[in-house]
Amino acid sequence: EDQVTQSPEALRLQEGESSSLNCSYTVSGLRGLFWYRQDPGKGPEFLFTLYSAGEEKEKERLKATLTKKESFLHITAPKPEDSATYLCAAAGSARQLTFGSGTQLTVLP
């Protein structure tokens, strides 16, 4: 059975304090790893897709990386508007994605 585990569950950072969120996956035949951002009361917003180990994607203060066992979402010099829940999901052999439970990020001014 495919599994995706995110850590930490919650993270509080000071504005400008860089950090990383972790997404560990156990998936038979990974066909894609996805990162989303979700604001309270809204649907998840797609951020990145990674398809193979060593791949990196970048957008503003966010950079996603992928290894054979995990993915990281690096946040550089975060701002309060980066506060949200970040979800990762993996596509394995099944038609549906397996989602992690998310990391709730709070960036304090």
Q: How many residues bind another protein (CB under 8 A)?
A: 22
What is the distance between the alpha carbons of residues 15 and 81, in angstroms, rounded to a whole number?
Answer: 10
* Closer residue to another protein, CB minimum distance, 83 or 98: 98
Residue 34 touches another protein, criterion: CB under 8 A: yes
Residue 1 touches another protein, criterion: CB under 8 A: no
CA-atom Rg of the chain in angstroms: 13
CB of 23 to another protein, least distance (A): 13
* Closer residue to another protein, CB minimum distance, 48 or 82: 48
What is the distance between the alpha carbons of residues 44 and 103, in angstroms, rounded to a whole number?
Answer: 13
DSSP secondary structure string for all residues of 62-101 = EEEEE-SSEEEEEE-S--GGG-EEEEEEEE-SSSSEEE--
Binding positions for another protein, rule: CB under 8 A: 31-32, 34, 36, 41-46, 49, 87, 89, 91, 94-97, 99-102
